[in-house]
Structure 1
């Protein structure tokens, strides 16, 4: 298979370049790919105005990213349990795609455009149906920064009613910090894209013979959490409302998260894809470790407040009895303790 690529370079450093996938021009020969580019030239200004470019070409498509088939028409990919880094290029969150009779929906987009390009190739290795929707489960950069690739492919970007504001407020921070972690080569072409379709409560998305149930939640892991239920397969895609192996990350309300986790366990699903780990887990049994961690976070924080600990002292003890239970614990628990202490010190 051949695909169209654009040689893209940084305006600030023209020596930093990479070939960026242009979706929609896949063909079985170079000649057919080139003919498609002539017949229907791609819109480059919308997505690459902030970069320097040096011409389109058609080239061999690399091997697709590995996905496993979790159920008929459901494909899942486990992100690496790691902070974003040059060697993973932002592939640190779980992603999935669901194939209906007439369309495809993608759930989360990875932490860079380069990761999203790999996801796109995997989709195209399974189906040529249009990618109609990209569903973003929450605002964090490892889940949303590949969105521009799917928007360019014609997908509607779907997210929580509060997602646009959250992304606009954090846009420069996300691009700067994630870009620094991944490095210019891997991050090149990455942009922040806001939703075309917002969900406030519930929304159904029809892929043709397959309807997905989208639901937003009160402030929990973040203030922009959204789940995707697929009744056809019986799988619930929780985003980061569920963590497995990877240390939980609290960026919202610890009390809210505890309540939402309880409500999630009552939903009629027997399998989930969490935001990290897995990638598929039995439900609701797999909720127990996260539930225990949140209970500990609340209990330790309340005890620290009752003792009169300062925030600095409290962060040193809150949650520490579970330090061996989670990967990346030392990276995420101090922030969790800070957020929990700030929430609970005045209750």
Structure 2
């Protein structure tokens, strides 16, 4: 009886120490779903669940697009997918190297994990550092999370996974390598972090001009549903237009600020259009972007304006 008590106690302690992500798949089509990440920054309260992940059910298997921010997230994602289909997850695609999109890889270490060469290198070199940083912020939800780099390089325009074909589009701007997937069968476009829908854009590794250029190309694709990296899925082109407007405003703020000799705080005090400042996380991300990008723009445009 005493042994049974300790077994029950151990199980209760185990579950008490695991973070509950409450993952609920949102249906996009007969075979396509996504998990909506909170429009927040990393915190202990959200367990790092701030980005969208998605999955496609094929004839014999499941294709997973991004793995979330921890091993615990990925394990719970597996269980949530099992409630939809009993087909195994065979293929994983990492869209880029930011931690909210790949730190669940370790739960799929025996699977084929696809990514661009750049993304593979970045994860291999900096994955452990990302984990260390997130452990300090997210804490217990990160337990058991280990770095697992992609093991298959994506470099073709299409990929055939178990007879299911996806177009692979290679962009940059949000990072130096942003993979977008287009499913012609369902007409669903998975943009990852090239698009933030109604959420302020994150720019820690961004090239604004390249990002705008990528979005203009993206706008030419005739999709039925767009699944962004952050924010809700959309059936319109508005998220792309709004992201272009946001980035153009951000860049103009930086260029004009530098040319007029403004410092970071003076730029941040300038008025912002209502349609932009209404984005979730605007104050935090806009301030972070100005602080992060100001030195690059100062180096480029201050010398020009003073000649």
TM-score normalised over the length of structure 2:
0.85
Partner of 1:190: 145
1:112 aligns with 2:70: yes
The secondary structure found in structure 2 opposite 1:122 is helix
Partner of 2:136: 180
1:338 aligns with 2:291: yes
The secondary structure found in structure 2 opposite 1:308 is coil
The secondary structure found in structure 1 opposite 2:215 is helix
Partner of 2:159: 204
CA distance, structure 2, for counterparts of residue 74 and residue 342 of structure 1 = 42
Larger helix proportion, structure 1 or 2? Answer: 2
How many residue pairs get aligned? The number is 283
Deviations 1:242-284 (A, max 9, x none): 0012211012200010000000011231211001111x20232
CA distance, structure 2, for counterparts of residue 207 and residue 101 of structure 1 = 8
Residue ranges of structure 1 left out of the alignment (5+ in a row): 1-16, 20-61
Partner of 2:254: 301
Distance change in 2, residues 1:81/1:203 (3 Å): same
Distance change in 2, residues 1:161/1:123 (3 Å): same
1:125 aligns with 2:83: yes
Contact 2:253-2:267 at 8 Å conserved across structures: no
Partner of 1:258: 212
Tell me by how many angstroms 1:130 deviates: 2.5
CA distance, structure 2, for counterparts of residue 319 and residue 248 of structure 1 = 18
Contact 2:74-2:105 at 8 Å conserved across structures: yes
Partner of 2:28: 70
Residue ranges of structure 2 left out of the alignment (5+ in a row): 1-12, 302-307
CA distance, structure 1, for counterparts of residue 200 and residue 230 of structure 2 = 9
Partner of 1:156: 112
Distance change in 2, residues 1:102/1:180 (3 Å): same
Contact 2:189-2:226 at 8 Å conserved across structures: yes
Partner of 2:51: 93
Tell me by how many angstroms 1:128 deviates: 2.3
CA distance, structure 2, for counterparts of residue 333 and residue 99 of structure 1 = 37
The secondary structure found in structure 1 opposite 2:242 is helix
CA distance, structure 2, for counterparts of residue 165 and residue 172 of structure 1 = 13
TM-score normalised over the length of structure 1:
0.75
CA RMSD of aligned residues (A): 2.3
Partner of 2:240: 287
The secondary structure found in structure 2 opposite 1:134 is strand
Counterpart selection for 1:316 from 265, 268, 273: 268
CA distance, structure 1, for counterparts of residue 146 and residue 40 of structure 2 = 22
Larger strand proportion, structure 1 or 2? Answer: 1
